[in-house]
DNA sequence: TTTTAGTATCAAGATTTCGTAAGGATAAGA
DNA sequence: TCTTATCCTTACGAAATCTTGATACTAAAA
């Protein structure tokens, strides 16, 4: 299940408090997965790969600090800790073990929300998340780096060539109409110049295809537009 | 002192408190740059490119919230806010404007240290993060010490040259657009002067490349921007 | 087969973008 | 004051890129 909204994992043993948080978070558009033990939490992080973890330190089955330490051996998931304990040593211990934030109970739900968003915003630029890579056969397109490879050889594309290819990559497997391509690459005032497309598609094929006359990736959909083949054949 | 230590910028108008924090932070091995006004802070972020900002909200010359908003238009520097105000709205406002963390006075120095480290740790994993030393081939760049080497020979760069190179280092492997570079190095009012880039890129190449006409590190992405090559070839 | 609409290719000229050099302005330090 | 370093400005040739027009190809319809 892929969707725009982030999935938050909540590890909290008090059912009432769990329910309360659940409602608050969902009202902000987050998906929430709630578990009651550290064990279940560790498993959920591995299996569900949530975007962020909200961890109550007081757990029945294991020490909250230990949950953090164990997680950090193999995961970089953002962690916000909740705790009734406000001693300096508790806070520094949790943070030093690898937590990202620490809130003492009682806390304002609005502040929790803002802190979650702040952390997600910070983490949104992680390499894994930001690096959009499309690959089919020999062809590899790294959108965020603006780099294109055929097998391991890097291909240099001009801005128009790259923007055109991007638009096809973003809709890989689907036809993109002439109008759509022209509008994205040249702007709304050039939607009539479908001639440009032929020129640049030819150039792209020349650079990316082994046999430009019989393209494997950049396919023509006569009368409609072009399509980037996403399946090997 | 260890070379890779991060530079922290402290914006705090109370001299006594500034002194106190300064001592605390330095005792932890951080380099500290302290200023007393929002204006000076904004300039320092641009010119010194610190790894993290500690911002007291109560400033004499401008609203602390505005400092955050203005910074976030062109900088992703991690921000920890200090404030005597503990109202929910103050906190959420600061975070929603783009701060990463918020501490209410009085706070424990140990907690501040742990929170700084937590944030730096998080940010170190991002592209454009607080990676301290960048190296590829013969070229080595130490961001916080502001030193650059080609093989073992140290190269002297002017402030603009260094800031330009920093910006490329922070996004090593990614294209950085003309606009982005101009905004970071010269400020938002100079985004049109793309010829500055050509001049200074030429100077950088002259200083850093063995064959400036055929650059190995400082690559041009025609029509888009420049890219620092992150892989040897 | 001929026609036709849509597509592909080629190459030259126009335009934009880049690299380089040289000189003037400014400010800091000797 | 003179020197030095840095930054900005101007100018121009070179390179890359885009646009344009002419021409050839292909497949489906008449």
Contact A159 B222 (CB under 8 A): yes
- Residue B157 near residue B166 (C-beta atoms within 8 A): no
Q: What is the per-residue pLDDT for B1? A: 35
B92 touches chain A (CB under 8 A): yes
Q: B25 pLDDT band (50/70/90 cuts)?
A: very high
Listed by start position, the domains of chain A span 7-125, 129-228
Nearest CA in chain B to A101: B115
pLDDT at A125 over 60: no
Return the biggest CA–CA distance within chain B.
59
The C1' atom of C14 and the CA atom of A182 lie apart, in whole Å, by 21
* CATH number among 3.40.50.80, 2.60.290.11, 1.10.10.10, 1.20.1730.10, domain A129-228: 1.10.10.10
* Residue of chain B whose alpha carbon sits nearest to that of A94: B114
Residue A15 CB partners (closer than 8 Å, separation 6+): A36
Q: What is the pLDDT of residue A130?
A: 46
| Separation of alpha carbons B64 and B13, rounded Å | 11
What average pLDDT does the segment B62-72 reach? Answer: 93
How many Å separate Cα B52 from the centre of its chain? 7
At residue A126 the predicted structure's pLDDT band, cuts being 50, 70 and 90, is very low
List the single range of B89-98, B124-133, B139-148, B196-205 with lowest mean pLDDT. Answer: B124-133
CB B10 within 8 A of CB B18: yes
Residue in B with minimal Cα distance to A120: B100
Nearest nucleic acid nucleotide to B213, CA to C1' distance: C19
- A4 — pLDDT class (breaks 50, 70, 90): low
Residues ≥6 apart with Cβ < 8 Å to B192? B182
A1 or B201, which is more confident? B201
Neighbours of B45 (CB within 10 A): 22
Same topology, domains B7-125 and B129-228? Answer is: no
Whether A233 has a pLDDT exceeding 60, the answer reads no
Supply the pLDDT for residue B152: 86
Nearest nt to the CA of A209 via C1' is C8
Domain B7-125 has CATH 3.90.330.10: no
CA separation, residue B1 to residues B23, B29, B123, B152 (Å): 15, 7, 23, 20
The pLDDT of residue B34 is 92
Sequence-distant contacts of B148-156: CB under 8 A, at least 24 apart:
B148/B208, B150/B208, B155/B207, B155/B208
DSSP A42-83: HHHHHHH--SEEEEES--SSS-HHHHHHHHHTT----EEEEE
- CA B196 to C1' D10 (Å) is 12
Mean pLDDT, rounded, for B99-108: 95
pLDDT for the residue numbered A110: 95
Cβ neighbours of residue B158 under 8 Å, at least 6 residues apart? none
What pLDDT does B142 receive? 87
User: Strand locations in A124-224, DSSP E?
Assistant: 133-136, 139-142, 147-150, 153-155, 175-177, 218-221
Of B220, B45, B175, B136, the residue nearest B148 (C-alpha): B136
Report how far residue B29's alpha carbon sits from residue A68's, in angstroms, rounded to the nearest whole number: 26
Q: What pLDDT sits at residue B231?
A: 75
Q: Do B118 and A125 touch (CB under 8 A)?
A: no
Where are the alpha helices (H) located in A98-153, listed in sequence order? 109-123, 127-130
**Which of A100, A108, A117 is nearest residue B88 as measured by Cβ atoms?**
A108
Res. A100: pLDDT tops 90: yes
The residues facing B154 across adjacent strands are B149
Q: How far is the CA of A165 from the C1' of C5 (A)?
A: 26
pLDDT at residue A209 in the model: 87
Q: Please name the residues between 186 and 205 in chain B that touch chain A, using a CB distance below 8 Å.
A: none
Strand order of the β-sheet with A52-56 is A31-35, A7-11, A52-56, A79-83, A101-104
The mean predicted confidence, pLDDT, of chain A is 88
């Amino acid at each position: 299940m892929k969707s725009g909204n982030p999935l938050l994992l909540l590890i909290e043993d008090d059912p009432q408090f769990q329910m309360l948080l659940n409602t608050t978070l969902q009202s902000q558009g987050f998906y929430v997965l709630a578990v009651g033990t550290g064990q279940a939490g560790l498993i959920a992080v591995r299996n569900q790969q949530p975007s962020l973890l909200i961890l109550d330190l007081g757990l029945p089955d294991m020490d909250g600090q230990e949950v953090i330490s164990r997680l950090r051996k193999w995961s970089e998931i953002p962690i916000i800790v909740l705790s009734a304990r406000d001693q300096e040593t508790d806070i520094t211990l949790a943070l030093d073990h690898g937590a990202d934030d620490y809130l003492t109970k009682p806390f304002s739900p609005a502040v929790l929300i803002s802190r979650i968003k702040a952390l997600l915003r910070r983490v949104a630029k992680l390499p894994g998340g930001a690096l959009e890579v499309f690959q089919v056969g020999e062809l590899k397109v790294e959108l965020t780096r603006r780099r294109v490879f055929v097998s391991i050889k890097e291909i240099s594309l001009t801005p128009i060539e790259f923007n055109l290819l991007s638009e096809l990559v973003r809709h890989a497997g689907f036809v993109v109409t002439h109008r759509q391509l022209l509008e994205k690459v040249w702007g709304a005032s050039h939607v009539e110049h479908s001639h440009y497309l032929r020129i640049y598609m030819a150039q792209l094929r020349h650079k990316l295809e082994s046999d430009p006359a019989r393209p494997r990736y950049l396919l023509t959909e006569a009368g409609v537009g072009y399509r980037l083949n996403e399946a090997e054949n």
